[in-house]
Amino acid sequence: MPVINQSENLLKNAVILAKGAKILDIKALFTEQIPEKLGPTVPELAELMTEKALTKECFSSCGSEQFAKEIEPYEHIIVCGLETHVCIYQTVCDLLDLNKKVYLVADAIGSRTIENKRIGIKRLMQEGAKIASTEMILLELQKKGGDTVFKQILQLIK
């Protein structure tokens, strides 16, 4: 995480997404790329996990049999994480190949360089991913204002 461009903002938004998923009762999956070499999930996110992170060696999370099994029943997949031009790119392409509707949370993804992030997002848009922001996706999932859940989501995004 320390070498990722704008990592503080990315992490802040990923934490908001994870907390929002809990509030909205949406399953959140975490994957780790060779954690023994690259390190585990950062503590700020790890403390929000309801299940242990799935480890992977393939760049695409879909290369993990457990991940593929977990996402099978879902039509819509929201994606955030690292690195946009490698793991995120390959995962999203594989999800699209599985006919999933994929929402890429642009302010909760990152790469070491802003250029790699920009190119990754551009390519994923060309592939058919829907681009969203953290606030946009949470309010899209909430669909309405005024209730207790909306107030909890509002507290996260303010």
Cα 7 to Cα 14, 51, 107, 124, 128: the distances in Å are 10, 24, 10, 21, 26
Region 106-123: what's the mean pLDDT? 98
pTM over 0.85: yes
**Model pLDDT for residues 16-49, shown as the tens digit of each residue:** 999 999 999 999 999 999 999 998 999 999 999 9
Distance, in Å, from the CA atom of 139 to the CA atom of 39, rounded to the nearest integer, reads: 32
Q: How confident is the model at residue 149 (pLDDT cuts 50, 70, 90)?
A: very high
Domain boundaries of the chain, sorted by first residue: 7-157
Instruction: Return the CATH architecture of domain 7-157.
Output: 3-Layer(aba) Sandwich (3.40)
Give backbone dihedrals phi and psi of 49, rounded to 5 degrees, phi first.
-70, 135
Residue with tokens 């207790």: 148
Averaged confidence pLDDT in the chain: 96
Distance, in Å, from the CA atom of 37 to the CA atom of 98, rounded to the nearest integer, reads: 30
Beta strands 76-82 and 101-110, pairing class: parallel
**Model pLDDT for residues 49-87, shown as the tens digit of each residue:** 988 999 999 999 999 999 999 999 999 999 999 999 999
